Amino acid sequence: MEPKLEELKQRLAEIYDLRRASSVLGWDQATYMPPGGAEARGRQIATLDRLAHEKFTHPTIGRMLVELRSYEGSLPYDSDEAALIRVARRDYERAVKVPSSFVAKFSAHAAATYEAWVKARPANDFAAVRPMLEKTLDYSRELANFFPGYDHIADPLIDFADYGMKAATVSALFAELRKNLVPIVQAIIAQPVADDSCIRQSFPEAQQLAFGQEVVKKLGYDFNRGRQDKTRHPFCTTFSLGDVRIATRVKENDLGDALFSTIHESGHAMYEQGIRAELEGTPLAHGTSSGVHESQSRLWENVVGRGRGFWEYFYPKLQTAFPLQLDDEPLDTFYRAINKVERSLIRTDADEVTYNLHVMIRFDLELQLLEGKLAVRDLPEAWRARYKSDLGLAAPDDRDGVLQDVHWYGGQIGGVFQGYTLGNILSAQFYEAATKAHPEIPNQIPRGEFGSLHGWLQENIYQHGSKFTANEIVKRATGQDLTIEPCIRYLRTKYGELYKLQHPE
Amino acid sequence: MEPKLEELKQRLAEIYDLRRASSVLGWDQATYMPPGGAEARGRQIATLDRLAHEKFTHPTIGRMLVELRSYEGSLPYDSDEAALIRVARRDYERAVKVPSSFVAKFSAHAAATYEAWVKARPANDFAAVRPMLEKTLDYSRELANFFPGYDHIADPLIDFADYGMKAATVSALFAELRKNLVPIVQAIIAQPVADDSCIRQSFPEAQQLAFGQEVVKKLGYDFNRGRQDKTRHPFCTTFSLGDVRIATRVKENDLGDALFSTIHESGHAMYEQGIRAELEGTPLAHGTSSGVHESQSRLWENVVGRGRGFWEYFYPKLQTAFPLQLDDEPLDTFYRAINKVERSLIRTDADEVTYNLHVMIRFDLELQLLEGKLAVRDLPEAWRARYKSDLGLAAPDDRDGVLQDVHWYGGQIGGVFQGYTLGNILSAQFYEAATKAHPEIPNQIPRGEFGSLHGWLQENIYQHGSKFTANEIVKRATGQDLTIEPCIRYLRTKYGELYKLQHPE
């Protein structure tokens, strides 16, 4: 290999180690850390993040990238080496615009805000975190302003997570999706409400966790290279390609919560576990964008995991795990329960039809906050107003309103939520492409065979890590650019049948 | 504060963060990490350790220490600031002698060796780790040789852990101790063997852990600033003064194993939890030496935790936790069981009389290995020969022989084991001083009152961290230099009564 490239890779591996170490500290903070550890932990994470940033933005890296330009030009576009240099350059050009001191300040602030939110949410005390959130908004705007020349102040933040996307693109896409979703929601809520009481019984925690683990093992999540722990807000985190962990919470009286979040997080995790080992320690060793990442969690959680075929295989096993609760419940009752559509207050509890409406509220509020059209002090009220207008509901308190999601309290405002809906759109698009390539997939799922689907994802998405951009991955894997058509088709078909809708459009 | 000192403190805090982060990664490796994470984890820990070392040995630190010399001279010796500069200088002068590249290589090697040992011990396969251990010995000698001018090659390694000690001092001390111990052991084994069957019944893991936690909470271990997890080889680790964790293993058929290792590790942990918050983030924010640290674990585990008074309070509670197993067993049967003296194969299972003989074997073998008088390939045989001559026992295999302790497989050879016996010696010396200052302590313990003892330790030992050297702490706390007399007195009195020895000497 080109010696300059070897040298660059060594430097990048050191930075990668610092970032992964920071992830371990973050995982511990969210799973096992005692309260007394919080203060120092915020500082430790900030130190690691700052050092990683300092090392990555060191002029030597810039010089190496310049010196490698002609070598890069001699390589095929889709070689690992060309991709490594290309992605490192893109990340570098982005990173040098943000001073290390800013990264450290913001990182420490985010850790402290997270700790405050952990206390404020159960106490329903938005006022306790408001000053911190105001500072977060300042920091978020400051962060965006390190990238002048944007069309919208959210653009740089969106671009971090979903490279190639802008506020205007996303807004247009979301408007189109909303136009299609609202009539489906209207048609469904005109029907009798589905009965989900069968999954609202008491389900002991240990069995819930054991069953979830059995399921995701079968889907292809490798517990030799991962593990599951308990936390407040489910997440997936990567310490190396050989150690990709998931964490979830368990609600004793809601069977769906732990189960579907386990499948969801294992979808993220299988993506990272599937990255080719050759990419380890490089900037290519993670999923390519927030939207593509979310498409992998959503594909397994919803398109597969809430499908009827899936439960033809797993429902008898679930009944065996919970005989007292489910022995007398037919599969169809359960299937309708896990796909109950209703306008609700909590995004993470939302069904797949209304879910995107929750995301759009947050996305729009993020834009308004960043534009300066909405003040943090008015955010709880703006939140309530949007829930009223979009979902017909009024949150009784901030706990289930503006305090419900960790995101703004553990990072920046802006560029955070669009990925969820991009992921939902892509999950249907990828699944359609997979079944086109392997028409046997829908018949395999009821037999508990997930190898063809997992293999297609591995081949077309997982293995590449960040080697290709989201747009490139979508085009290569599906032959098309991102499109909402498969998503709309999927929802109309599934919910048309479920709710016996005549003209779902 | 002197601006130069402020600047030094900031730099030291960053290094401290890197080291603490490395500890978090090590803790995770020993508790929760899946097998697939091992390879990358070794590299990550090595990177953090190397960066910490690079930053600490940066010439700027040396220059600052020079510039601070006159300021230091103007401060009282026992001020925090003077101690900080003094200890930082001592650590710095030691650290600059070891190249960063060596630290990284050795650290990565140690992590890989640890993983190999985890597999080799249950497989009884010394051959599988022998080449790695040979390399460890080479590295250990290389490390010592960065400090030329020693009397014995082990001296620098001993000095790292027990500042002020040398191979010759320790050997002389151990010879004197052995002279006193052997007759006690001989006198005891001439008596009928104690019956410990009451603690060898089946004790469910969850209740064992719960009881142990109840005990150490009562002693003063603060679970808001710590936690307990399961591991293979019990340990204590500090992530910050607000997060000092213990880890233990549980044996279902040996009540003493988890219980006394929990008390032991909480002794270490209370020491670090008790360090004054002002010392956080400085080189003073940890225990002062291996021997003093071990004295704190041993004091609680043995002098207090295996005492009759202690169990007058806790035994009824233990019976309540395990009624089936212990309801019919009188306190004295239990007290004799937990103080059963016998010549055994496993150091960590050994009673407090024979324990030091185990340590001396390892200490002597370390010296011989380092001197080049013993080759690693001959180590298993040398181990067996020493157990035969010193304890009258032949290990049936290496699993319970040379493979039993993690130390050589997770770090260097040399300077590791002497701390255990120094700790035993000091535990008696400190306890004697505490009871001299507070004669009520022996009467408080049977009432479950540990505040006077904990307070004395807090005042005289814990709070200072590394502000004073081991020798200084011993002198300040007990009015004397280190002496084996209290230890011998303690063992003669306790075991004289227990085994009804006429002339225990």
Q: Which residues pair with A244 in a beta bridge?
A: A238
List the strands of the sheet with A235-240, edge to edge.
Answer: A228-230, A243-248, A235-240
Neighbours of B193 (CB within 10 A): 10
Task: Return the number of CB contacts < 8 Å for A and B.
Answer: 127
Give Cα separations from A389 to A175, A372, A384, B255 (angstroms).
Answer: 15, 22, 9, 63
Q: What is the DSSP letter of A300?
A: I
Whether B242 contacts A39, CB under 8 Å? yes
- Chain B residues lying within 8 Å of A9, measured CB to CB: none
* ipTM (interface predicted TM): 0.92
Inter-chain contact B239–A41, Cβ cutoff 8 Å? yes
Dihedral sign for Cα B483, B489, B490, B491, please. positive
Write the DSSP assignment of A258-288 as a string of letters: HHHHHHHHHHHHHHHHTS-GGGTTSTTSS-S
Give Cα separations from A57 to A69, A201, A266 (angstroms).
Answer: 18, 53, 33
- Chain A residues lying within 8 Å of B28, measured CB to CB: 24, 28
Chain A interface mutation, best of B16, B17, B58, highest count of A Cβ atoms under 10 Å: B17
Chain B interface mutation, best of A240, A272, A275, highest count of B Cβ atoms under 10 Å: A240
Residue whose token pair is 């890590």: A465
Whether A456 contacts A438, CB under 8 Å? yes
Q: Which residues pair with A230 in a beta bridge?
A: A248
pLDDT band at A1 (very low <50, low <70, confident <90, very high): low
Q: Which residues contact B199 (CB under 8 A, 6 or more apart)?
A: B254, B255, B256, B334, B337, B338
Q: Which residues contact B270 (CB under 8 A, 6 or more apart)?
A: B219, B220, B221, B296, B300, B454, B457, B462
Q: Which residues pair with A247 in a beta bridge?
A: A229, A235
In this prediction, residue A503 carries a pLDDT of 59
String of b and e for A14-53 (b: at least 16 CB within 10 Å)?
Answer: bbbbbbbbbbbbbbbbbbbbbebbbbbbbbbbbbbbbbbb
- Chain A residues lying within 8 Å of B35, measured CB to CB: 224-225
Chain A interface mutation, best of B41, B216, B228, B231, highest count of A Cβ atoms under 10 Å: B41
Number of H helices, E strands in chain B: 22, 3
User: Comparing C-alpha atoms, which of B85, B78, B81, B80 is closest to residue B62?
Assistant: B85
Token pair recorded at residue B208: 């064992």
Inter-chain contact A32–B240, Cβ cutoff 8 Å? no
Q: Which helix (H) or strand (E) holds B206?
A: helix B205-219
Inter-chain contact A243–B20, Cβ cutoff 8 Å? no
String of b and e for A100-116 (b: at least 16 CB within 10 Å)?
Answer: beebbbbbbbbbbbbbb
- Chain B residues lying within 8 Å of A13, measured CB to CB: 43
Q: Which residues pair with B244 in a beta bridge?
A: B238
Residue type, B371: E
At CB < 8 Å, which residues of chain A contact B?
13-14, 17-18, 20-22, 24-25, 28, 32-41, 43-44, 47-48, 51, 222-227, 229, 239-243, 245, 280-281
User: Comparing C-alpha atoms, which of A196, A200, A473, A238 is closest to residue A332?
Assistant: A196
Inter-chain contact B222–A36, Cβ cutoff 8 Å? yes
pTM, rounded to two decimals: 0.93
Residue in A33, A240, A245 nearest the CB of B243: A33
**Catalytic residue among B72, B81, B265, B432, which?**
B265
Whether B249 contacts B233, CB under 8 Å? yes
Inter-chain contact A18–B223, Cβ cutoff 8 Å? no
- Chain A residues lying within 8 Å of B37, measured CB to CB: 225, 239-240, 242-243
Whether A383 contacts A401, CB under 8 Å? yes
Inter-chain contact B224–A34, Cβ cutoff 8 Å? yes
Q: Report the alpha-carbon distance of residue A245 to residue B31 in Å, rounded.
A: 14
Q: Report the alpha-carbon distance of residue A331 to residue A308 in Å, rounded.
A: 9
Report the residue of chain B nearest A24, measured CA to CA.
Answer: B25
Q: Which residues of A are catalytic?
A: 265
User: Comparing C-alpha atoms, which of B171, B147, B170 is closest to residue B157?
Assistant: B147
- pLDDT exceeds 60 at position A505: no
Inter-chain contact B40–A25, Cβ cutoff 8 Å? no
- Chain A residues lying within 8 Å of B14, measured CB to CB: 47, 51
Inter-chain contact A225–B34, Cβ cutoff 8 Å? yes
Inter-chain contact A39–B240, Cβ cutoff 8 Å? yes
Neighbours of B9 (CB within 10 A): 20
Token pair recorded at residue A485: 């058509």
Report the residue of chain B nearest A281, measured CA to CA.
Answer: B40
Residue whose token pair is 């991709």: A83
- Chain A residues lying within 8 Å of B238, measured CB to CB: none
User: Comparing C-alpha atoms, which of B270, B329, B246, B177 is closest to residue B458?
Assistant: B270
Chain B interface mutation, best of A16, A39, A47, highest count of B Cβ atoms under 10 Å: A47
Inter-chain contact B239–A17, Cβ cutoff 8 Å? no
Inter-chain contact A25–B28, Cβ cutoff 8 Å? no
Q: Report the alpha-carbon distance of residue B166 to residue B149 in Å, rounded.
A: 13
Write the DSSP assignment of A337-383 as a string of letters: HTT-----S-GGG--TTTHHHHHHHHHHHHHHHHHTSS-GGGHHHHH
Q: What is the DSSP letter of B195?
A: -
In this prediction, residue A504 carries a pLDDT of 47
Residue in A13, A24, A241 nearest the CB of B25: A24
A229 three-class SS: strand
Q: Report the alpha-carbon distance of residue B433 to residue B450 in Å, rounded.
A: 15
**CA angle, corner A200, sides to A196 and A205, nearest 5?**
140
User: Comparing C-alpha atoms, which of A106, A105, A71 is closest to residue A86?
Assistant: A71
Long-range CB contacts for residues B486-489, cutoff 8 Å, separation at least 24: B486/B428, B486/B429, B486/B431, B486/B432, B487/B177, B487/B424, B487/B425, B487/B427, B487/B428, B487/B429, B488/B177, B488/B180, B489/B428, B489/B432
Neighbours of A311 (CB within 10 A): 20
Whether A476 contacts A468, CB under 8 Å? yes
Whether B413 contacts B474, CB under 8 Å? no
Q: Report the alpha-carbon distance of residue B324 to residue B313 in Å, rounded.
A: 20
Residue type, B96: V
Q: Report the alpha-carbon distance of residue A399 to residue B116 in Å, rounded.
A: 49
Whether B151 contacts B167, CB under 8 Å? yes
A165-196 pLDDT per residue, tens: 999 999 999 999 999 999 999 999 999 999 99
Helix ranges (H only) for B32-150 are: 38-56, 59-67, 69-73, 80-95, 100-123, 126-145
Chain A interface mutation, best of B239, B244, B270, highest count of A Cβ atoms under 10 Å: B239
Residue in A28, A43, A243 nearest the CB of B36: A243
In this prediction, residue A281 carries a pLDDT of 96
Inter-chain contact A43–B241, Cβ cutoff 8 Å? no
Q: What is the DSSP letter of B192?
A: P
- Chain A residues lying within 8 Å of B22, measured CB to CB: 21
- Chain A residues lying within 8 Å of B239, measured CB to CB: 37, 40-41, 44
At CB < 8 Å, which residues of chain B contact A?
13-14, 17-18, 20-22, 24-25, 28, 32-41, 43-44, 47-48, 51, 222-227, 229, 239-243, 245, 280-281
Give Cα separations from A318 to A222, A252, A327, A372 (angstroms).
Answer: 21, 15, 9, 50
Q: What is the DSSP letter of B230?
A: E
Whether B499 contacts B191, CB under 8 Å? yes
Q: Report the alpha-carbon distance of residue B247 to residue A409 in Å, rounded.
A: 32
Spacing of C-alpha B356 from chain mean position: 13
In this prediction, residue B504 carries a pLDDT of 46
Whether B362 contacts B421, CB under 8 Å? no
Give the pLDDT of chain B (505 residues) as one tens digit per residue: 689 999 999 999 999 999 999 999 999 999 999 999 998 998 999 899 889 999 999 999 999 999 999 999 999 999 999 999 999 999 999 999 999 889 888 988 998 898 899 999 999 999 999 999 999 999 999 999 999 999 999 999 999 999 999 999 999 999 999 999 999 999 999 999 999 999 999 999 999 999 999 999 999 999 999 999 999 889 999 999 999 999 999 999 999 999 999 999 999 999 999 999 999 999 999 999 999 999 999 999 999 999 999 999 999 999 999 999 999 999 999 999 999 999 999 998 899 999 999 999 999 999 999 999 999 999 999 999 999 999 999 888 999 999 999 999 999 999 999 999 999 999 999 999 999 999 999 999 999 999 999 999 999 999 999 999 999 999 999 999 999 999 999 999 999 999 988 754 4
Token pair recorded at residue B234: 């019990």
**CA angle, corner B150, sides to B145 and B152, nearest 5?**
90
- Chain B residues lying within 8 Å of A18, measured CB to CB: 47-48, 51
Q: Which residues pair with B238 in a beta bridge?
A: B244
Inter-chain contact B242–A38, Cβ cutoff 8 Å? yes
Residue in A28, A224, A242 nearest the CB of B40: A242
CA distance A76 to chain B (A): 29
- Chain B residues lying within 8 Å of A39, measured CB to CB: 240, 242
